[in-house]
A and B are shown apart, each in its own frame.
Chain A
Amino acid sequence: MEERDRRRRSALALAVLALLAAGRAEAKQFHVTSFSAGLAYDHFARTVAWGGGGPSKLRAHAFGAQAEVGFSGGLVFSFAAGFSLVNPSRLAFGTLPISLEFRGANMSGLSLAAEAAAPVKRAGRFEIGAAGRIVYSSGAARSWPLEGFAVEGRATGRPDWLELSAGPRLAYLAFGPRIVPFAEVSARLLWAGFRMAETLGELGGEETSRVRGDFALALALGAEVRVGGPVKVKVKAGLAAGGGGADGLFSIGALYGF
């Protein structure tokens, strides 16, 4: 429990740092300096314990449109909306009248994301900044027939997840504005729920399996590359280490500046 609290405090500290950095940048000046839009893809895997059960892998993908607004002082807000796919594996629903074990299937949904990033301090060729991000995915319900029983039945599952991440970012500016590699450390907290409903003749029930604030610390390397004119590509890949082990994360986005 103490370990968990310590991790939560660390995450909170990182988030506060990120917000302070954003606030500081915001306090200086506040007018829009850039606007760009494009497409973005995000993926992460996470080993979690649904409802305190055994380890289970959750793989999430989000693909959608992204808009990015830059403000004076370097503060950048971005928003994304689109489709999500999530594939949780090995969830047990043992309190339903007929116990179910979900062994994994892609579940689609809608995702919304918001991110804020701001520079804090520049030291020579390096710039220290902070970033915070929230992603929410609301899964669409998916049904499966329950076969082999005396009456027809169905199981309907619906996953949702929300991830908060925040942490410092170190950018290397020596290559000029065309290529800006960066390293990012972030504390990531994940909440997820998988609601399973069952109907079988006169029987029915609903059970939700949850992940509550699963913590992971991620290290990612990435770069922002201006590939020509107003087009910018942002790519990032890394590892997140949490209670269930180490998992990968990856994101890529292409933005057109107006």
Chain B
Amino acid sequence: MTRTRGTVVGSLAAAAVVVLAGCGLDRGGAVAAGDRPVRLERMSETGPPGSLGCASDRVLVRFRADVPDGPARERLRAHGFPDAHAIPAVRVYSARTAPGVSVAEALTALRGDGAVESAGPDPRTRIADVPNDPYFGAYQYNLRNLGGYLEIGGGLRVRLTAGADVKAVPAWDEVRGDPGVVIAVLDTGVDRNHPDLAYKVVGPGRDFVNGDDSADDDHWHGTHVAGIAAADTDNGVGIAGVARGCRVLPVKVVDNRGDGYYSWMIDGIVWATDQGAGVINVSLGGDVPDPYLEDACRYARDHGAVVVAAAGNSGGPVLYPAAYDETVLAVAASDADDAIASFSSFGPEVDVAAPGVWLLGPVPQAYVGPGRPPYVFASGTSAAAPQAAGLAALIRSLKPDLAPEQIMWIIRYTADDINAASLPGRDDRAGYGRINMERALVPYIIR
């Protein structure tokens, strides 16, 4: 296969990059690294992947109204609950099961007791919190936008519109991502030593540029993209990732200048698919169509991988592979006001948008130099795409049986039509709109 088929255009790179030095990231309401919220117990395995589930050793019991406290406690003791805690206002006892006794066994015994009105497992809860990653609150408006200003540094200040975000926090209450779902990041490589990615990267990956098995990042772009998609979250370090529980497979298909060939991309897509990646993020592209590249995207889809790609930053036609409508989800960039970024490429192939202006993400330490936080703000559809890829990974975590096309339709149909006032319905700038993780993942209520 030739390696000279169409040079990958450099527009994959962000439209703007600001190194985080001197940004005062420890100020401005960011949670201090040591200020961890109370963690509850380890999740049980009774719920769906990523859900909180129920306690493995606790039950809740309500006795009939005519059963006084004394006899109720006696019955609980008889059932092997010596230290039940009463909550009289709601007539409920909270009890721990005896060692070696499962909740199911305990409930069977309790429910067979005529004095017991009802008994059930003790569902786990978790503070309705946000991750303790210190940059989450003040800088990741794309995940949760409360309004105010984004202080980028160097005198740069961006006004934020509350609600112009992907609604990550309520979606995380539903699912945080299955570690078995892997997002392949086809890019400049990934810094596997970065503190926000070290535990998230599956392995050394594959370098199709240098023809070896170590997809290290000799640029910054791939690490930034990988972090936005699935940075280690709630680890007290750096940023939060969209698919916070999923993992990353690095695949290097562009060189240290951000350039590459379609052949590297084709190799990367096929290789990532064969490695079992559930989602493939391609924050890069070229401006000419190519049947072999299209075949590679079809191969990925037919083998169960969702391919997500950046629309491009030229403000012109959508790049390839994003432009392959049937097999690739094309992502445009919106800003902190839910407007489509001026640089975002457009066309009928655009499926959805995601915030892509001044996105904070991790970069290799070498890129920013010693002593500086290894994070930069960057803009581009490259930063927008991994949010859609992260959402695809979360959908796959929750519903592993869905086909890639179904996942792509879910992402499209659940988007917020952010430019409905001027272009109602699907349009060529924002596609179906800015992705909405909450609508895609949280159950719709029927009454």
Contacts and interface: CB of A to CB of B under 8 A. Distances in A.
Given A98-B414, A245-B119, A149 B446 contact: no
B446 A54 contact: no
Interface string B405-447: 1100110111101000000011000001100000111111111
Contacts of A144: 446
A146 B426 CA distance: 18
Contacts of A242: 111
Given A97-B409, A150-B414, A203-B406, A241 B447 contact: no
Interface residues of A, number: 37
A245 B118 contact: yes
A100 B412 contact: no
B37 interface: no
Interface residues of B: mostly helix, strand, loop or mixed?
mixed
A105 to B, nearest CB: 6
Interface in A225-247: 241-246
A59 to B, nearest CB: 15
A254 B412 CA distance: 57
A150 B446 contact: no
Contact of B444 (A95, A99, A202): A99
A155 B443 CA distance: 13
Contacts of A202: 405, 409
Interface in A8-25: none
A94 interface: yes
Specify which of A4, A144, A203 lies most central, judged by the most chain B CB atoms within 10 Å of its CB.
A203
Contacts of B120: 54-55
Contact of B118 (A47, A95, A155): A47
Contacts of B446: 100-103, 105, 144, 155, 157
| Range, interface on chain B | 35 or more
B400 to A, nearest CB: 10
17 contacts: A3-B108, A47-B118, A54-B120, A55-B118, A93-B443, A94-B398, A97-B399, A97-B406, A98-B413, A99-B441, A100-B446, A104-B447, A105-B447, A148-B439, A149-B413, A203-B410, A246-B64
Contacts of A103: 445-447
A47 B111 CA distance: 11
A244 B118 contact: yes
B117 A245 contact: yes
Interface in B106-145: 107-108, 111-112, 114, 116-121, 123
A10 to B, nearest CB: 12
Given A47-B118, A241-B114, A101 B413 contact: no
B92 to A, nearest CB: 12
Contacts of B114: 241
B111 A246 contact: no
B41 interface: no
A201 B112 contact: no
Interface string A140-158: 0000101011110101010
A3 B112 contact: yes
B48 interface: yes
Contacts of A97: 399, 402, 406, 409-410
A130 interface: no
A244 B111 contact: yes
Given A101-B444, A246-B117, 18 more contacts: A3-B112, A55-B120, A94-B398, A94-B399, A97-B402, A99-B443, A101-B443, A101-B445, A144-B446, A146-B444, A149-B413, A149-B414, A150-B414, A150-B425, A151-B413, A242-B111, A244-B118, A246-B64
A135 B48 CA distance: 35
A201 B123 contact: no
Contacts of A3: 108, 112
Contacts of A203: 406, 409-410, 413
Specify which of B116, B118, B413, B425 lies most central, judged by the most chain A CB atoms within 10 Å of its CB.
B413
Nearest to B401: A95
